[in-house]
């Protein structure tokens, strides 16, 4: 009833809006096309087309079948390649979590271009996570690999880690902020009067972390690093930003840095992946990071070091 040839005949009629045009496209007679569609409608028990003397249009059932037929035929066409890839030890799907501090759309696109060229039948899924949400994705949501988990030790012995670097932090505010006019070092009583701007931890199962906030201090929670930067620029609050991200803004005079009693220590971030049950795609991604290849340097721009290739030559991390 739903063999590939019948489905392609149905799709041709649906896409051309004509039995005769579909027949011409498929090098068949109009009578053959009409018979196939009539047989399909009898077997499914529903009309798929509304026929008039001048045109053919789809019924709601026909529209639904068209959407499904495209998916089925697409899968049938790709199935031989998928089966060969599975036989070669390549994953059907790879889910990758990226720390919000390292997330870069251009870097994701560059890595995706490299991966899809090598593994055209693998489904790649990137997710942007914050703080412990990166670990949460690995531990509880079936992700294959994470770029930028906190720390240099795994939370479970089933994971392997490759240190990526440390995020250096600067305490920043707008040059128009009231604290910018106070002689340093700033005291906690002075800091408590103004909100701390923080990004909400995306962890669902693990305990959420707070980046920086003094007891009794108001907190403004935003969804990502871009919004946090914008909030600091607008003067609505204070807090820490990665040095590599905020340094250009400081040099342009759009932000100022300050010193507080307890400065935030550097944050080590690592690449993490499952030791067992991984495939070739994950192994290739790990190799790109361990060798600091150009395809992944865009993820490393937040670290306070110059990225180099496996040969030691400087690379532009963009």
For the segment 277-291, the average pLDDT, to the nearest whole number, is 92
At residue 256 the predicted structure's pLDDT band, cuts being 50, 70 and 90, is very high
Average of per-residue pLDDT across 7-34: 91
Return the higher-pLDDT residue of 308 and 94: 94
- 73, 11 in Cβ contact below 8 A? yes
pLDDT greater than 60 at residue 59? yes
Confidence of residue 76 (pLDDT cuts 50, 70, 90): confident
CA 214, 220, 225, 229 dihedral sign is negative
What is the distance between the alpha carbons of residues 203 and 140, in angstroms, rounded to a whole number?
10
Distance CA 94, CA 96 (A): 6
Please identify which residue in the block is written with the tokens 């604290």.
179
**More confidently predicted of 35 and 89:** 35
CA pair distance 278, 156, nearest whole angstrom:
16
Peptide bond into 169 cis (omega under 30): no
Give the pLDDT of residue 316: 43
**Overall residue count recorded for the chain in this entry:** 318
SS (H, E, C) 206-273: CCCCCCCCCCCCCEEEECCHHHHHHHHHCCCCEEEEEHHHHHHHHHCCCCEEECCCCCCCCEEEEEEE
pLDDT in tens, 189-215: 999 999 999 999 999 999 999 999 999
| Mean pLDDT on 154-169 | 94
pTM score: 0.74
Cα-only R_g, the chain: 28
Render pLDDT for 288-308 as a digit per residue (tens, 0 to 9). Answer: 999 999 999 999 998 875 444
* pLDDT at position 3 over 80: yes
């Amino acid at each position: 009833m739903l063999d590939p040839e019948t489905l392609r005949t149905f799709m041709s009629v649906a896409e051309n809006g004509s039995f005769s045009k579909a027949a011409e496209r498929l090098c068949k007679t109009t009578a053959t096309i009409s018979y196939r569609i009539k047989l399909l409608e009898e077997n499914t028990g529903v009309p798929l087309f509304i026929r008039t003397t001048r045109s053919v249009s789809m019924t709601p059932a026909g529209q639904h079948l068209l959407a499904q037929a495209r998916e089925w035929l697409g899968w049938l066409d790709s199935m031989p390649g998928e089966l060969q890839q599975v036989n070669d030890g390549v994953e059907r799907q790879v889910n990758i979590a990226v720390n919000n501090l390292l997330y870069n759309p251009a870097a994701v696109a560059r890595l995706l271009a490299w991966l899809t060229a090598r593994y055209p039948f693998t489904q790649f899924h990137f997710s942007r996570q914050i703080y412990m949400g990166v670990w949460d994705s690995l531990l509880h949501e079936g992700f294959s690999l994470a770029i930028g988990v906190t720390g240099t030790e795994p939370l479970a012995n089933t994971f392997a880690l490759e240190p990526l670097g440390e995020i250096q932090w600067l305490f920043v505010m707008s040059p128009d902020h009231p604290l910018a006019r106070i002689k340093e070092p700033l005291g906690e009583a002075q800091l408590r009067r103004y909100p701390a701007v923080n990004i909400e931890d995306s962890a669902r199962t693990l305990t959420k972390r707070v980046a920086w906030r003094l007891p009794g201090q108001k907190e403004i929670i935003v969804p990502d690093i871009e919004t946090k930067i914008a909030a600091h620029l607008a003067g609505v609050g204070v807090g820490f930003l990665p040095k590599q991200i905020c340094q250009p803004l400081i040099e342009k005079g759009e932000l100022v840095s300050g010193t507080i009693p307890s400065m935030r220590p550097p944050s080590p971030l690592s690449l993490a992946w499952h030791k067992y049950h991984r495939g070739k795609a994950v192994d290739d991604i790990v190799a790109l990071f361990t060798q600091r290849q150009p395809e992944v340097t865009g993820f490393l721009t937040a670290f306070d070091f110059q990225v180099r290739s496996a040969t030691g030559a400087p690379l532009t991390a963009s």
